[in-house]
């Protein structure tokens, strides 16, 4: 598609030249002026083509992300198992496609309670059981007293930092999740190795700094603990 558009620049320029020549053909019959105009137009044509082509190229060029990411949606339905409530919505691998998705879907503040968004590297399912997550954990913040605007902003900022690869040890990052709940919405960043203390702490400190969390506490919970300690009181192995 990109190259089709790129080539259109030349076509537009050529048709512009033809139109100019056609208009000029109906002129006052001054042959010298006609020839001078034709010569000048021919001389300018290559630069005009280049300008039009580069405008077209800039308009069709998308900025690639380091990874392809998949957006998942989870919605509570008592008739289904937890994993059956998950659906894979779409994937994106450019900045432009990310924003098309981001502005198309509802912000977390417009979601009903017991709805989640998950954005994970393509190929990783947003669940404890996935091979890449099974030895991992998450940095999680509990947003109970915070405004909906702040929750939307934190989600937006964490998404951008994650897909924009702002974290050191970004190979450790699996994805991000927001759980919209009555008691406290939760935003988390999932990492793949809960034994890699150095990477976990570097990621947590960066998250705290980039999102300007100050008083908001971050807790690192291991997925294997979450599997057996269902409920809000999962042990945190690090707190920042």
Q: Does 232 bind ligand MGP (CB under 6 A)?
A: yes
Helices (H) and strands (E) in the chain, counts: 6, 8
**What is the distance between the alpha carbons of residues 128 and 134, in angstroms, rounded to a whole number?**
5
What are the start-end ranges of the H helices in 61-196?
Answer: 95-104, 148-163
Secondary structure class of 169 (helix, strand, coil)? coil
Residue 48 vs 127, nearer CB to ligand MGP: 127
Instruction: Give residues with Cβ within 8 angstroms of 30, minimum separation 6.
Output: none
Residue in 82, 103, 145, 228 binding ligand MGP, rule: CB under 6 A: 82
210 in Cβ contact with 166 (< 8 Å): yes
**Closest distance of CB 186 from ligand MGP, Å:** 6
The contact mask relative to ligand MGP for 105-144 (x = CB under 6 A, - = no) is ----------------------xxx---------------
Q: Which is nearer to ligand MGP, 14 or 225 (CB)?
A: 225
The pair of structure tokens assigned to 172 is 């450790």
Give the interface segment with ligand MGP, choosing from 18-26, 38-46, 140-148, 230-238 (CB under 6 A). 230-238
Name 239's bridge partners: 219
- Tokens 């308009």 -> residue: 59
Residues 83-112 as x/- pattern, contact with ligand MGP by CB under 6 A: x-----------------------------
Q: For residues 94 and 156, is the Cβ–Cβ distance under 8 A?
A: no
CA neighbours within 13 Å on the CB side: how many for 76?
A: 9
Task: Pick the closer one to ligand MGP by CB: 1 or 230.
Answer: 230
In the bound state with ligand MGP, the residue whose beta carbon lies nearer, of 83 and 100, is: 83
**Cα–chain center distance at 154:** 14
Residue number, 63 or 145, with CB nearest to ligand MGP:
145
> Per-residue string for binding with ligand MGP, 176-215, x by CB under 6 A?
---x-x----------------------------------
| Residues lying near ligand MGP in the complex (CB under 6 A) | 82-83, 127-129, 179, 181, 230-232
């Amino acid at each position: 598609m990109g190259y089709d558009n790129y080539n259109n620049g030349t076509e537009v320029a050529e048709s512009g030249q033809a139109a100019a020549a056609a208009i000029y053909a109906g002129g006052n019959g001054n042959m010298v002026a006609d020839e001078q105009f034709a010569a000048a137009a021919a001389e300018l044509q290559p630069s005009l083509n280049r300008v039009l082509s580069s405008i077209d190229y800039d308009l069709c060029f998308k900025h690639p992300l380091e990874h392809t990411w998949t957006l998942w949606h989870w919605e509570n339905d008592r008739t289904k198992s937890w994993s059956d409530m998950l659906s894979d919505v779409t994937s994106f691998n450019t900045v432009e496609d990310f924003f098309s998705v981001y502005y198309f879907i509802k912000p977390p503040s417009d979601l009903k309670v017991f709805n989640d968004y998950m954005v994970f590297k393509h190929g990783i399912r947003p669940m404890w059981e996935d091979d890449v997550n099974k030895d991992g954990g998450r940095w999680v913040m509990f947003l109970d007293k915070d405004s909906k605007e702040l929750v939307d902003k934190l989600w937006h900022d964490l998404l951008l930092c994650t897909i924009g690869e702002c974290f050191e040890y970004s190979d450790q990052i699996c994805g991000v999740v927001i759980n919209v709940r009555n008691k406290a919405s939760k935003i988390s960043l999932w990492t793949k190795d809960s034994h890699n203390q150095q990477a976990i702490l570097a990621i947590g400190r960066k998250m705290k700094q980039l999102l300007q969390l100050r008083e908001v506490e971050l807790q690192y919970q291991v997925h294997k603990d979450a599997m057996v300690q269902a409920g809000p009181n999962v042990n945190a192995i690090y707190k920042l």
